[in-house]
A and B are shown apart, each in its own frame.
Chain A
Amino acid sequence: MALTGRAGLLALIGVLVVGLLMPSWQGIFVMLGVVLLCVAVDLVLAAGVRRLTFTRAGATSVRTGELCTVQLTVHNPGRRLRGVLRDAWAPSAGVVADRVPLDVPAGGSRVLSFELRPVRRGDRTADRVTVRSLGPLGIAARQGSHQVPWTVRALPPFHSRRHLPALLERLRELDGRRASLIRGAGTEFDSLRTYVIGDDVRSIDWRASARSSDVVVRTWRPERDRQVTIVLDTSRTSAGRVDGVLGGLPRLDTSMDAALLLSALASQARDQVDFLAFSHKVRASVPRASLPVMVQAMAPLEAELVEFDARGAVSEVLRRASRRSLVVLLTSLEPSIEHGLLPLLPSLAARHRLLIASVSDPAVHAMASGRGDLESVYAAAAAERTLAERRRLTALLARHGVEVVDALPDELPRALADRYLSLKAAGKL
Chain B
Amino acid sequence: MTAVSPDARRIWAAARAPLLIGVVILFAAAVITLLRGTGEGGALDPRSFRPEGSHAVARLLEQNGVRVELTDDASAVDGATLFVTHPNLIAPDRLTELSRRAAATVLVAPAGGVGQVAQETREPGCALAAKAGAATSGGFVYQGEQQCYDSTLVRTGTVTAIGHGAIFTNGELDAEGNAALALSLLGQHERLVWYMPSVADRAQQKSLTDLVPDGWKFGALQLGVAAVLVALWRARRLGRVVPEPLPVVVRAAETVEGRARLYQRSRASTHAAAVLRQAARDRLSPVLGLPAGEDPSDEIARRTSRPVAQVRALLHSEEPVDDRGLVALASELDALENEVRKG
Contact = CB atoms under 8 A, between A and B. Distances in A.
Contacts of B259: 382, 385-386
Given A86-B238, A92-B244, A302-B248, A146 B279 contact: no
Interface of B: 1-5, 7, 213-219, 221-223, 225-227, 229-230, 232-233, 236, 238-240, 242-245, 247-253, 255-257, 259-261, 263-264, 271-273, 275-276, 278-279, 282, 292, 323, 326-327, 330-331, 334
Given A374-B326, A386-B256, 20 more contacts: A11-B225, A11-B230, A17-B222, A19-B219, A19-B222, A23-B218, A25-B218, A28-B225, A49-B5, A90-B244, A127-B240, A129-B2, A130-B239, A148-B2, A239-B250, A240-B249, A248-B251, A363-B256, A374-B323, A380-B330
Nearest to B323: A374
A378 interface: yes
Interface in A57-89: 84, 86, 88-89
A146 to B, nearest CB: 4
B46 to A, nearest CB: 38
A91 B245 CA distance: 9
B232 to A, nearest CB: 5
Interface in A355-407: 361, 363-364, 367-368, 371-375, 377-388, 391, 395
A305 B250 CA distance: 11
Nearest to A366: B253
A24 B218 contact: yes
A251 B247 CA distance: 13
Given A19-B222, A381-B260, A128 B252 contact: no
Contacts of B236: 2-3, 143
A165 interface: no
B276 A381 contact: yes
A139 to B, nearest CB: 10
A114 to B, nearest CB: 14
A88 B264 contact: no
Contact of A15 (B219, B232, B243, B282): B219
B2 A147 contact: yes
27 contacts: A3-B232, A3-B236, A5-B230, A5-B233, A7-B232, A8-B230, A8-B233, A19-B218, A23-B213, A24-B214, A25-B218, A27-B218, A31-B222, A50-B7, A132-B238, A145-B239, A146-B2, A146-B3, A241-B252, A305-B248, A361-B252, A361-B253, A363-B251, A375-B260, A378-B263, A379-B256, A385-B275
A157 interface: no
A289 interface: no
B122 to A, nearest CB: 58
Task: Choose among B214, B253, B334 the residue with the greatest number of A CB atoms under 10 Å from its CB.
Answer: B253
Given A374-B327, A379-B260, A7 B251 contact: no
Nearest to A54: B2
Interface of A: 2-5, 7-8, 10-12, 14-20, 22-25, 27-28, 31-32, 35, 49-54, 84, 86, 88-92, 99, 122, 127-130, 132, 143-148, 239-242, 248, 250-251, 302-305, 361, 363-364, 367-368, 371-375, 377-388, 391, 395
Nearest to A4: B233
Given A23-B215, A145-B3, A240 B256 contact: no
A146 B240 CA distance: 11
B247 A377 contact: no
Given A19-B222, A23-B218, A388 B252 contact: no
A90 B253 contact: no
Given A19-B222, A147-B2, A239 B238 contact: no
Contact of A382 (B219, B238, B247, B256): B256
Instruction: Identify the 9 closest CB pairs spanning chains A and B, nearest first.
Output: A240-B252, A19-B219, A130-B239, A11-B226, A381-B272, A8-B230, A144-B5, A382-B260, A384-B279
Task: Choose among B218, B229, B292 the residue with the greatest number of A CB atoms under 10 Å from its CB.
Answer: B229
A18 B216 CA distance: 9
Given A4-B233, A367-B253, A380-B330, A130 B260 contact: no
A43 B55 CA distance: 61
A147 B2 CA distance: 5
Contacts of A16: 219
B275 A388 contact: yes
B2 A380 contact: no
B3 A27 contact: no
